[in-house]
Amino acid sequence: MEFNELERQRIEKLKKLREAGVEPYPPRAYRTHTTQAAVEAFVAAEHSGNVPPTVTVSGRLISIRVMGKVAFAHIEDESGKLQLFIRQDEVGDESYTLFKKAFDIGDFVEAGGPVVRTRTGEISVQVKVLRMLAKAITPLPIPKEYEDAAGHLTRYSAFSDIEERYRQRYADLAVNPQVREDFRIRSRMISALRAWLDDHGYLEVETPILQPLYGGAAARPFTTYHNQLKQDLYLRISFELYLKRLLVGMYERVYEIGRDFRNEGVSFKHNPEFTQLEFYCAYTDLFGIMETVEQLIAYTVERVLGTATIAYQGHEITFTPPWQRRTLREVILTHSGIDYVAFPDADALRAEMRRRGYDTASNATWGHLVDNLLSAAEPTIIQPTFIREYPIDISPLAKQKPDDPTHVERFELFVGGMEMGNAFTELNDPLEQEQRFYQQGRDYEAGDEEAQPMDEDYLRALKYGMPPNGGFGLGIDRLAMLLTDHRSIRDVLLYPHLRSRD
């Protein structure tokens, strides 16, 4: 293990503690109150005229100010921060000397004593006993704050290299309270989604992460190998096919919140490992699912933030239902000027797109070309919008429109210039599903690496009969981006995937 000069200085202080008979990493803490609880107990005693409480608090040192035989410090725990008022004649000469010479900002400490108000009016612990709980060897990066002429504080990251925030998330969290709050919001958001689904009769289930076949989405998988079974396996790219098997088994409403893995590029809205919510409901279709999604997400936003209107990247977005409903054809025509149904084959549509300046792959199918046109329009869709009716060749698991053999009953949800979720009236005809799988196989042979493989067991399940149903998949990370006003998915993942430093 290598150390820089500041770390070596702190190791010397660690040695001083041990030489004085102080264990810098004791096995136990004896906290009686969080910092917030200590303040609340003091305020209650002050109002009632009772004796101020005596407490033992623990936390990380975030400031130290020594003035002769008196010192002031602040500690911070998860609930807040609190001042320590330390006097040499109360803690003893040896303890006070050790505090001055061996304690640093970043150390975890424990302080015991009565809670008082100092002459400046700040509620503080008048320290009688001070213990080291964990000596910090590496100094924390300290964020910089600057005040402008109007008195507004601007806070700059402690990390000059923004990627170091993600590589050292532990340090980022330690010094940035807003980052800690962002992840609390994320946690409350997931709890709210789960609460709504539970209250509306959905059963939470768990499906396999390691699968003999990947499916349920257009994506390349990660592969692994089971040594004992001598079997190639895939990390799941979706929960869909396993959740729909449960509808065959007579559950009518099921959902799962968990991790998916897609072997694809990294961008501001993509991470190879991400969190997904998928739910499936029997005896409904994509129109019923639209209403469910509106209610679910509006409830979640309101419960987490206390309002149905949020600010996101300079836009005001309201989640109050009903949301906009548009067709794919309408959106693409408005944005690009191309009425794609007037170009019924891939070559004709590709030629028109190239004429208008779009970069198109020579082997892209008609459906993928249409999807590329939608991707160009995506950043302009800010308010919650359902876009429905997608090409059949990029929707192998969705039911065909009764009046149009080229399109299916599918919608995608867009908010804040991003796709947030995907839904179908689910295909439950096993013979039609088999033919779709065969077509996907032909697309794979033609170069589409994200095509859906044949899944014989799923077809076997369908042959037992699956009720008509609708399903929806929601990107949890992207919803967290909206609720925390972050443009990058990395800011809402505790440990995003990063390139190696090399």
Q: Residue 315: which domain range?
A: 178-323+383-492
Residue 378 lies in a domain: no
pLDDT at 152 over 80: no
| Mean pLDDT score, 436-447 | 90
Q: What pLDDT sits at residue 255?
A: 98
Percent of the chain with pLDDT over 70: 97
Residue 498 lies in a domain: no
Strand partners, 434: none
Q: What is the pLDDT of residues 89-139, one digit of tens each?
A: 999 999 999 999 999 999 999 999 999 999 999 999 999 999 999 999 999
Q: What pLDDT sits at residue 414?
A: 98
Residue 448 lies in a domain: yes
Q: What pLDDT sits at residue 1?
A: 85
Q: Would you give the distance in Å from CA 257 to the centre of its chain?
A: 12
Mean pLDDT (the chain) is: 95
Residue 121 lies in a domain: yes
Identity of the residue numbered 26: P
Q: What pLDDT sits at residue 147?
A: 62
303 shares its domain with 405: yes
239 shares its domain with 272: yes
Residue 364 lies in a domain: no
283 shares its domain with 414: yes
| Mean pLDDT score, 215-236 | 94
- Torsion angle of C-alpha atoms 220, 222, 224, 229, degrees rounded to 10: -50
- The model's pTM is 0.93
169 shares its domain with 232: no
Identity of the residue numbered 252: E
316 shares its domain with 200: yes
Residue 332 lies in a domain: no
Q: Which of 134, 154, 187 is the last residue of a domain?
A: 134
Q: What is the pLDDT of residues 41-50, one digit of tens each?
A: 999 999 999 9
Residue 20 CB neighbours (<10 A): 13
Residue 113 CB neighbours (<10 A): 21
Residue 346 lies in a domain: no
**Is the model more confident about 355 or about 154?**
355
Q: What pLDDT sits at residue 148?
A: 64
80 shares its domain with 171: no
Strand partners, 84: 73, 125
Q: What is the pLDDT of residues 238-250, one digit of tens each?
A: 999 999 999 999 9
Count up the domains in the chain and report the number. Answer: 3
Instruction: Compute the Cα dihedral for 429, 430, 435, 441 and give only its sign.
Output: positive
Residue 349 lies in a domain: no
Which is nearest to 231 in space by CA: 213, 208, 255?
Answer: 213
Q: What pLDDT sits at residue 143?
A: 66
280 shares its domain with 423: yes
95 shares its domain with 156: no
Q: What pLDDT sits at residue 292?
A: 98
| Mean pLDDT score, 366-375 | 96
| Mean pLDDT score, 388-394 | 96
306 shares its domain with 414: yes
Question: Distance between CA atoms of 247 and 400, rounded to whole angstroms?
Answer: 20
| Mean pLDDT score, 479-488 | 98
